[in-house]
């Protein structure tokens, strides 16, 4: 049995190189799609590198200048003393289809990378070298996800960045002012933040008993209703309790009565309707009290690959563990990992976070971004930081239904405070009826 030849297209590689020699202006577009390693043949990789070096210094890259480049480096034999360069330029009819040829070259390179990753996964399975199966699986999924990403380039000119920004402006105008991100189900909050944005890390902080999990539930349901297929990591509460909360919120029947089974005959219809609407929405839940960061990343990548989740929620950040690190380093590592995950999967990641106990001893018990427990890294990495406060927790004279969302950080716009309504019975948040206060 003859050995299999890796995927390649010599003709497409020749057409790309010859096309750039014929039309130097096409180099910028091709350089954003292809890299030196995408070419299969060694001589083609070196020719592409020569073109890149000459272009970087503003020099032309025709058969003559490229021949001089190879001669100066003692590599003329790679291009037959320059004859192969002349052949490339003379046999390429035009550069009209150079982008299509570049796509073929990139596709063949991706197939070779897939073979390489697959071979590595197989070899690691046979010889794990001390790594456990969970770590190997996480690494494998990560490498496959990176292959799956379709971004053409990480490098842009200022003009390209402005053109992409202008496209966003036009798209926003054509959407007629529609929300750019995922709705939270709280229009007044969406108004100031634009919703939950792909690639963002959103941190929601509060002291215990303020309703962090209930607020997350409101955001999860809103995302699910919008068809964004949320994934939920629940380190704080079992999946069954989350299900009971969903039934109460959807049916309008008190959560306490649902848990105790103390409801009237006519409540059954409400419960059945709530159950039906909640079950109809796609959602994935991972229920583990001490999930590791590697475990979280592995499962999230799997959900993205298998179910195309559109957002991720975590209850809560300080419960995620990183083995063999101190507490501050652990939370800092988790913060960076969550931000990287949001960028890699291009989805919003919403993480609940605990606030330091010292807040309770202050006269003004409203928490600030600097009160997040154990880590300044959460503050630095987050794109949005929201602090939840319910005055009635500390002041019995305050309405039990009043809640405040203090937007302490917002990379997409202003900061400010929004008052929302909280239903203690169903543990559901909604927009408050009173006028919104001014931003601070």
* End-of-domain residue from the set 178, 200, 219: 178
| pLDDT value of residue 154 | 58
Q: Is residue 440 situated within a structural domain? A: no
| pLDDT value of residue 2 | 63
Both 172 and 312 in one domain: the answer is no
* End-of-domain residue from the set 139, 158, 178: 178
pLDDT band at 440 (very low <50, low <70, confident <90, very high): very low
Both 4 and 123 in one domain: the answer is yes
Name residues whose C-beta falls within 8 Å of residue 41's C-beta, 6 or more positions apart in sequence. Answer: 8, 10, 13
Both 191 and 120 in one domain: the answer is no
Residue 45 tokens read as: 């990789």
Angle value at C-alpha 368, between 342 and 363, nearest 5 degrees:
160
pLDDT, tens digit, 9 for 90 and up, residues 296-307: 888 888 888 888
| pLDDT value of residue 311 | 94
Query: What distance in Å separates the CA atoms of residue 273 and residue 358, rounded to the nearest whole number?
Result: 43
Q: Which of 70, 71, 62, 68 lies closest to 45, judged by CA?
A: 70
The percentage of the chain sitting over the pLDDT mark of 70, rounded to a whole number, equals: 94
CATH of the domain at 36: 1.10.860.10
| Mean pLDDT across 185-214 | 90
Both 302 and 351 in one domain: the answer is yes
pLDDT, tens digit, 9 for 90 and up, residues 373-417: 766 778 888 999 999 999 988 888 888 889 999 999 998 889 888
What stretches of 323-433 show up as alpha helix (H) in DSSP? Answer: 327-345, 377-381
Give the residues across from 234 on adjacent strands: 287, 315
Both 163 and 196 in one domain: the answer is no
| Mean pLDDT across 270-295 | 85
| pLDDT value of residue 208 | 86
Both 116 and 192 in one domain: the answer is no
Asked whether 185 and 224 are in contact (CB, 8 A), the reply is no
pLDDT, tens digit, 9 for 90 and up, residues 321-333: 888 888 778 888 8
| pLDDT value of residue 237 | 81
Q: Is residue 436 situated within a structural domain? A: no
Lowest-pLDDT choice from 31-35, 64-68, 227-231, 285-289: 31-35
| pLDDT value of residue 186 | 92
Looking at 129-218, which runs of residues are DSSP E strands? 201-206
- Domain of residue 310, residue span: 181-431
| Mean pLDDT across 24-49 | 88
| pLDDT value of residue 152 | 46
| pLDDT value of residue 29 | 76
CA distances from 398 to 337, 395, 421 (A): 39, 6, 13
Handedness of CA 153, 156, 159, 161 (dihedral sign): positive
Asked whether 291 and 235 are in contact (CB, 8 A), the reply is yes
CATH of the domain at 327: 3.40.50.300
Q: Which of 104, 89, 109, 99 lies closest to 29, judged by CA?
A: 99
Name residues whose C-beta falls within 8 Å of residue 42's C-beta, 6 or more positions apart in sequence. Answer: 78
Name the phi and psi angles at 351, rounded to 5: -120, 125
Both 225 and 87 in one domain: the answer is no
The angle, 0 to 180 degrees and rounded to 10, between the axes of the packed helices 63-72 and 83-91 is 150
| Mean pLDDT across 246-273 | 80
Both 190 and 255 in one domain: the answer is yes
Asked whether 168 and 194 are in contact (CB, 8 A), the reply is no
* End-of-domain residue from the set 131, 162, 178: 178
| pLDDT value of residue 439 | 36
Q: Is residue 382 situated within a structural domain? A: yes
| pLDDT value of residue 313 | 95
Both 98 and 117 in one domain: the answer is yes
Query: What distance in Å separates the CA atoms of residue 208 and residue 298, rounded to the nearest whole number?
Result: 29
| pLDDT value of residue 251 | 81
Asked whether 201 and 338 are in contact (CB, 8 A), the reply is yes
Q: Is residue 262 situated within a structural domain? A: yes
Tell me the pLDDT of the chain averaged across its residues. 85
Both 167 and 206 in one domain: the answer is no
Torsion-angle region of residue 177: left (phi > 0), alpha (psi -120 to 50) or beta?
left
Asked whether the predicted pLDDT for residue 432 surpasses 90, the reply is no
Q: Is residue 294 situated within a structural domain? A: yes
Residue 48 tokens read as: 């592409």
Torsion-angle region of residue 427: left (phi > 0), alpha (psi -120 to 50) or beta?
left
Both 173 and 185 in one domain: the answer is no
Decide the pairing of beta strands 402-410 and 311-315: unpaired
On the CB side of 274, CA atoms within 13 Å amount to 21
Query: What distance in Å separates the CA atoms of residue 314 and residue 385, rounded to the nearest whole number?
Result: 14
Q: Is residue 7 situated within a structural domain? A: yes
pLDDT band at 438 (very low <50, low <70, confident <90, very high): very low
Name residues whose C-beta falls within 8 Å of residue 191's C-beta, 6 or more positions apart in sequence. Answer: none
| pLDDT value of residue 435 | 40
pTM: 0.66
Lowest-pLDDT choice from 21-30, 56-65, 247-256: 247-256
Asked whether the predicted pLDDT for residue 12 surpasses 90, the reply is yes
Query: What distance in Å separates the CA atoms of residue 62 and residue 50, rounded to the nearest whole number?
Result: 11
Query: What distance in Å separates the CA atoms of residue 24 and residue 257, rounded to the nearest whole number?
Result: 73
DSSP states of 254-302 as a string?
-HHHHHHT---TTHHHHHHHHHHHHHTS--EEEE-TT-BHHHHHHHHHH
pLDDT, tens digit, 9 for 90 and up, residues 122-165: 888 888 887 778 778 877 877 776 676 544 455 667 777 787 77
CA distances from 346 to 21, 304, 414 (A): 37, 10, 23
| pLDDT value of residue 321 | 84
Q: Is residue 364 situated within a structural domain? A: yes
Name residues whose C-beta falls within 8 Å of residue 373's C-beta, 6 or more positions apart in sequence. Answer: 318, 331, 353, 354, 355, 356
| Mean pLDDT across 198-209 | 91
Q: Is residue 438 situated within a structural domain? A: no
Domain count, the chain: 2
Query: What distance in Å separates the CA atoms of residue 333 and residue 353, rounded to the nearest whole number?
Result: 14
Torsion-angle region of residue 61: left (phi > 0), alpha (psi -120 to 50) or beta?
beta
Both 210 and 231 in one domain: the answer is yes
Decide the pairing of beta strands 201-206 and 349-354: parallel
| Mean pLDDT across 311-324 | 87
| Mean pLDDT across 283-311 | 87
């Amino acid at each position: 049995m003859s050995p299999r030849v890796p995927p390649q297209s010599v003709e497409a590689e020749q057409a790309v190189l010859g096309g750039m020699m014929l039309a130097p202006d096409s180099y910028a577009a091709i350089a954003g799609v292809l890299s030196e390693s995408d070419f299969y043949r060694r001589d083609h990789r070196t020719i592409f590198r020569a073109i890149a070096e000459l272009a970087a210094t503003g020099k032309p890259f025709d058969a003559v200048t490229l021949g001089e480049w190879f001669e100066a480096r003692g590599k003329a034999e790679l291009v037959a003393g320059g004859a192969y360069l002349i052949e490339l330029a003379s046999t390429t009819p035009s550069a009209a289809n150079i982008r299509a040829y570049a796509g073929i070259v990139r596709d063949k390179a991706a197939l070779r990378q897939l073979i390489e990753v697959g071979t590595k996964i197989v070899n690691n399975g046979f010889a794990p070298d001390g790594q456990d199966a969970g770590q190997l699986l996480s690494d494998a999924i990560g490498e496959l996800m990176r292959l799956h990403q379709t971004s053409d380039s990480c490098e842009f000119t200022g003009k390209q960045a402005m053109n992409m920004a202008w496209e966003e402006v036009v798209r926003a105008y054509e959407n007629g002012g529609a929300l750019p991100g995922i709705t939270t189900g709280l229009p007044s909050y969406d108004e100031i933040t634009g919703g939950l944005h792909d690639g963002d890390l959103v941190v929601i902080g509060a002291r215990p008993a303020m309703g962090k999990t209930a607020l997350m539930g409101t955001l999860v349901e809103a995302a699910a209703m919008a068809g964004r297929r949320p994934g939920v990591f629940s380190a704080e509460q079992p999946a069954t309790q989350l299900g009971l909360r969903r039934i109460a919120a959807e049916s309008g029947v008190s959560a306490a009565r649902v848990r105790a089974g103390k409801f009237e005959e006519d409540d059954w219809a409400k419960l059945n309707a709530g159950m039906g609407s909640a079950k109809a929405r796609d959602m994935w839940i991972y229920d583990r009290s001490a999930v590791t960061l590697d475990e979280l990343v592995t499962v999230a990548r799997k959900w993205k690959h298998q179910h195309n989740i559109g957002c991720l929620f975590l209850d809560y950040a300080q419960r995620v563990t990183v083995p063999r690190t101190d507490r501050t380093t652990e939370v800092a590592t988790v913060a960076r990992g969550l931000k990287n995950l949001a960028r890699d999967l291009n989805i919003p990641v919403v993480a609940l976070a605990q606030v330091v106990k010292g807040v309770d001893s202050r006269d003004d018990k409203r928490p600030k971004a600097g009160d997040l427990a154990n880590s300044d890294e959460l503050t630095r990495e987050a794109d949005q930081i929201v602090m939840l406060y319910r005055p009635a927790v500390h002041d019995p004279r305050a309405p039990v239904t009043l809640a405040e969302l203090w937007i302490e950080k917002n990379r997409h716009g202003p900061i400010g405070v929004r008052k929302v309504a909280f239903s203690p019975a169903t543990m559901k948040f909604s927009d408050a009826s009173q006028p919104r206060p001014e931003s601070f």
